[in-house]
Amino acid sequence: MQTMVQSAPISNVTIWTGRIMSALVVAFMVFDGGIQVMAFDFVTKGMAEFGIPGEFARPLGVVTLICTALYAVPLTSVLGAILLTGFLGGTIATHLPGADPLLPHIVSALVIASFVWGGLWLRDSRLRAMVPLLRA
């Protein structure tokens, strides 16, 4: 059985706000994945502080870039959002045991994850129909 979900039209301001939020996510994640793929010293040293071998920098960078590419393509954006959320959750889990667990990595990962889903929700009427924040 097929069901049709009617959704209210989305304003241009809402769509562009979602696009800007999503573009910020893509820009940040491309930068993050890029510096991991380049395996700069500060990246590998930072990973070593958390017990992650430095040779994992490049594979993690590639995963970051693939997830970001999936998020950037409208056809696969929901899959990309799910994968990016999982990736950012791993970032949070890695930083929790640290001496200063809340700042800056955990808060920034939470902000990025909220932009991932917020930007997608604002620009995709199908997602807005599936996850309505307000009911009439």
The pLDDT of residue 99 is: 62
Residue 131 is predicted with a pLDDT of: 84
Averaged pLDDT, 7-30: 90
pLDDT digits (tens, 9 = 90+) for 55-87: 999 999 999 999 999 999 999 999 999 999 999
* Residues 2, 89: Cα–Cα separation, whole Å: 34
Residue 75 lies in a domain: yes
Please count the structural domains in the chain.
1
pLDDT in tens, 106-119: 889 999 999 999 99
**Residue 129 exposure: Cα atoms within 13 Å on the Cβ side:** 11
Quick one: DSSP state of residue 117?
A: H
Domain membership of residue 1 (yes or no) is no
In a domain, 135, yes or no: no
Q: In terms of pLDDT, which residue wins out, 122 or 2?
A: 122
